[in-house]
Amino acid sequence: MIREPVASSNIVSIGYDADTETLEVEFSGGTVYQYYNVGAALNEQLMHAPSKGQFLNIYIRNDYPFSRVG
């Protein structure tokens, strides 16, 4: 999955696959997580959020299934 660099203190890049509704997040420590069943609208909100880390923590991290992939 292709990820875009983002301005964040703890997130390096974010990618999204609309076909599978998979969100991929690379953190500054080098770990990569995929979050599943994330709708396109929520991904758009994340990408436009002033604080991507805060948005991820509030709306995605505890509400969607995920796995560590890197």
The pLDDT averaged over each successive group of 10 residues in the chain (70 residues) is: 95 98 97 98 98 97 96
Burial of 46 (0-12, 13-18, 19+ CB in 10 A): buried
* Residue 53 confidence (pLDDT): 96
How would you classify residue 29: left for phi > 0, otherwise alpha for psi between -120 and 50, otherwise beta? Answer: alpha
How is the chain split into domains, by residue range? 4-68
* Residue 70 confidence (pLDDT): 85
Burial of 16 (0-12, 13-18, 19+ CB in 10 A): buried
Answer yes or no: are the C-beta atoms of 18 and 37 closer than 8 Å.
Answer: no
* Residue 26 confidence (pLDDT): 98
